[in-house]
Amino acid sequence: MNFLKTSAVICSLVLSASVPASGIEQALSVQKATNNAAIESQERIDQSDERIQRLKAEIKQLEAEVENLEVYQKHLTKLVANQEQETQSLNQQLSDIQQTRQDLVPLMYKMLDGLKQTLANDIPLQHSQRQQRIEKLEQLMVRADVSDAEKYRMILDAYQVEVEYGSKLGVYRDTISAGGFTREAELLHLGRVVLLARSIDESLYWSWDKNHASWQDVPSSSFHDIAKAFDVAKQRLSPEMLTLPVSIVEVK
């Protein structure tokens, strides 16, 4: 009987002790679950915050890109406006060029006529060379593969050569008709004022007479000065005062 009571008491104590242990475990389990939930919630919060920060960064980047695009759009608008102005300017220039070409071509033909008249009325200075230059310019005028600008430049070059003839001392060879014969001679010119010829053997001298448009014999008394003039022109002698026959028209 006492044994049974004792056993009952022990069982009662065991049962009463097992109840609190089970509650603690449950509490710990709940706490653990709560902690886990809190951790998961914090992780979600952290992830959400990271996403928010990324979105903010993307928004700032997009805003910067939008701002850049606005600046670029304004730039393009100005470029387009400027291109339209350039187009109008180019169209006007093309119109002006067309008008200039229409005026330039007749001018070039007039300039060629001027070269022809100069050659016809001038002393026979480099006559064959000047004649060939004019013929080449006439052929050049009808060539489609040469620009009007190049044609005009070459005509100006021809005029420049004509100007230089009037201020230079030079010697060259050419064929002349003198003394009833056509012969090769050495010619000397001082501008357009003096034009002399000398036979290749240096035995005969002639002077161009513009009044008669022919070569006239030079008296032997002038041979010495004329020979010196040829040497000066060839840079064999230093320039000095010389008396030479002139090729000018007498004014009556």
> In order along the chain (252 residues), what is the average pLDDT of each group of 10 residues?
46 47 76 82 81 86 87 87 84 72 89 95 92 96 93 95 91 90 93 93 92 91 92 88 74 51
Task: Count CB-CB contacts under 10 A for residue 100.
Answer: 13
Query: Considering the entire predicted model, what is its pTM?
Result: 0.59
Burial 221-250 (b: 16+ CB within 10 A, else e): ebeeebebbbebbeeeeeeeebebbebeee
Handedness of CA 241, 246, 249, 251 (dihedral sign): positive
Phi/psi of residue 234, nearest 5 degrees: -90, 5
| pLDDT tens digit sequence for 181-212 | 899 999 999 999 999 999 999 999 999 998 88
**Residue with the two structure tokens 């291109």:** 83
| pLDDT tens digit sequence for 61-72 | 888 888 888 888
DSSP for 108-148 reads HHHHHHHHHHHHHHS--TTHHHHHHHHHHHHHHHT-TTS-H
Domain boundaries, the chain: 101-164, 169-233
Eight-state DSSP code of residue 222: G
pLDDT at residue 20 in the model: 56
Amino acid in position 4: L
